[in-house]
Amino acid sequence: MEKFDVIIVGSGACGGWAAMALTQAGMKALLLEAGSPIEPAKEFRHTWPYELPFRGQGKPGVMRKYFSGSTEYNYKIMIDDRENPYTTPADKPFRWSRSRVLGGRTLHWSRASGRMSNLEFKAASRDGYGDDWPISYADISPYYDRVESFIGVSGEKAGLPQFPDGKFLPPMQLNCAETIFKAGCNKLGLRTTPRRVAQLTRMLNNRPPCHYCGNCGNGCDVGAMFNTVAVTLPPALKTKNVTVRCDSVVSHVLMNAEGKARGVSYIERYSKKSVEVEARVVVLAGSALENTRLMLNSQQGGLGNSSGVLGHYLMDQISGEGVSGFLPVLKGTAIRNDDGKAGGLYIPNFNNISNNARAKNPKFIRGYGVSASGGAAMFPDYSMEQPGFGSEYKRDVKRLYPARSRVWLSGGEMLARKDNFVEIDPRVKDAWGIPVLKIHCTHSDNDKKMYADFFERAKEIFHSAGGEITASAPRMGVPGGLIHEVGSCRMGADTKTSVLNSFCQAHDVGNLYVFGGGAFVTSGDKHPTLTMMALTARGCDHLLERARRGEV
């Protein structure tokens, strides 16, 4: 049987960072990925919609049904739900968008990279709901620095305690619509900043800056946006200490008689052959729910689950329909490359950010962030709503193209609740015979009140910018829809109420680390990937220090 120092399961944001950090320190690592390898220069083809058989939308009845969140451009890097099913109660829908490919969701993520603050890490101490994280901002700040400096995050300093500043490259400039929205927010007393994104605005570590092609969600062929294949995997490969094995579907963690992890068992994707590999340390670095699924499938009652909370406290972030319409001043102006950049205008959370009674929202606890943007995009979806026919209709569509704008909910904090949980569904298995998850998740009253408040604020922002609203039907998003699922394997200082310690090490299994969003105690209002990577960097330091002391 093959033996390594460490086995890393998953090659996304956390798995790629762990592979780089651990192999650079001299550990021999096996990196297992359930999906196939990818060659960005060859496989990320940036094509005009009219050059594709189904104009970019994909074959009707197939693409959206079986490849969640995919299009004709990117379906090859998305998961096939027919091979990888999951279940939910009939009255509790959940959308679980996944990728199985070398690099995981880093190949097509939104790249939003905001730091969480003590408003989130210590939220329970402020409002009395739930639990504090076992770390503070001071504990994780150096790791935010490290990650941002290496992956490249463009942004500007805002000086807001609820939205900590970081190590930034120059920000992406606001387009015309965003500049108008900024002025509208100023009238309302709302602070704004260019959206902070893990996308280069100048050369960094031999990676070129963004060339504003607008295909970020379809895979970046030049490596200007952060992804494992372009950024963290090359340094790991350079050490010659990592073995990358794709098309390897891990089924469970192997344990020894002493209660330690001794390796993993995986199934070769195409041959269906079962393989066992061993290591001194096992790192689970898949998505939050895939990590939890592995632990639930590894041992009766769940691996490392003496607390009984494995699978519980699942969160996404609050999402839903925003407000869209037109900015009249831009009607009939020149059509520009407005969707070529990844940024946008960001309005950091302005709710419940201090103990001042005037700063507290009486309707709900915690808060949300808002984004606004507009202008021409590759798909003028609004054209389906426009009346008319023929050449006059086409002229109207083009005249409105630069003026199209929207305000949306970037992320609202979903409260952590034990009754939002996942379990193994014993009746359903994936294509490799591995039991799948049954997901139970609903919104709380606090979540609903937060979304309602956002929607009213979005209309206020739009009107303040002088906009004409054409679509304003409030509809809260289905849990999972924002693709920010976190929790279900939470960290904590108390072994009776948590699965992991503050370094993402399992309380019950000393040589098992679980990196990813599963460790989150609260969802916060920031997109989670940057925090996941900072926690991974911190956990790797902890693991390496233990290895130096001979503890693993």
Task: Provide the token pair at 489.
Answer: 């394997």
State the pLDDT at residue 217: 84
For residue 285, report the phi and psi dihedrals to the nearest 5 degrees.
-135, 35
Measured distance CA(69)–CA(483) in Å, rounded = 10
State the pLDDT at residue 357: 63
**442: which strand partners?**
none
User: In the block, which residue shows the tokens 């490919």?
Assistant: 101
Are the CB atoms for 373 and 347 separated by under 8 Å? no
- Residuewise pLDDT in 10s, the chain (552 residues): 789 999 999 999 999 999 999 999 999 999 999 999 988 888 887 888 888 888 877 777 776 666 666 787 777 788 888 999 999 999 999 999 999 999 999 999 999 999 999 999 999 999 999 999 999 999 999 999 999 999 999 999 999 999 999 999 999 999 999 999 999 999 999 999 999 999 999 999 999 999 998 888 888 999 999 999 999 999 999 999 999 999 999 999 999 999 999 999 999 999 999 999 999 999 999 999 999 999 999 999 999 999 999 999 999 999 999 999 999 999 999 988 888 887 799 999 999 998 776 678 999 999 999 999 999 888 888 888 788 899 999 998 889 889 999 999 999 999 999 999 999 999 999 999 999 999 999 999 999 999 999 999 999 999 999 999 998 899 999 999 999 999 999 999 999 999 999 999 999 999 999 999 999 999 999 999 999 999 999 999 999 999 999 999
Scanning 263-304, the segments in alpha helix (DSSP H) are 288-298
User: In the block, which residue shows the tokens 């952060």?
Assistant: 226
Are the CB atoms for 371 and 457 separated by under 8 Å? no
Q: Which domains does the chain have, with CATH numbers?
A: 1-154+205-316+417-442+487-552 (3.50.50.60), 160-195+318-413+444-478 (3.30.410)
**346: which strand partners?**
193, 371
User: In the block, which residue shows the tokens 């004409």?
Assistant: 468
Task: Provide the token pair at 318.
Answer: 């609050």
Burial of 61 (0-12, 13-18, 19+ CB in 10 A): exposed
Which residue in 250, 140, 271 sits closest to 542, CA to CA?
Answer: 140
Give residue 427's region: left, alpha or beta (phi > 0; psi -120 to 50).
Answer: alpha
pLDDT in tens, 403-416: 999 999 999 999 99
End-to-end CA distance of the chain: 20
Which residue in 503, 485, 31 sits closest to 247, CA to CA?
Answer: 31
Task: Provide the token pair at 319.
Answer: 């999402």
pLDDT in tens, 465-522: 999 999 889 999 999 999 999 999 999 999 999 999 999 999 999 999 999 999 999 9
**Coil/strand/helix, residue 540:** helix
CA 167 from chain centre, in angstroms, equals 20
Measured distance CA(551)–CA(99) in Å, rounded = 35
Which residue in 243, 275, 321 sits closest to 31, CA to CA?
Answer: 243
Residue environment code for 93-112, b if the CB has 16+ CB neighbours within 10 A, otherwise e: ebbbbbbbbbbbbbbbbbbb
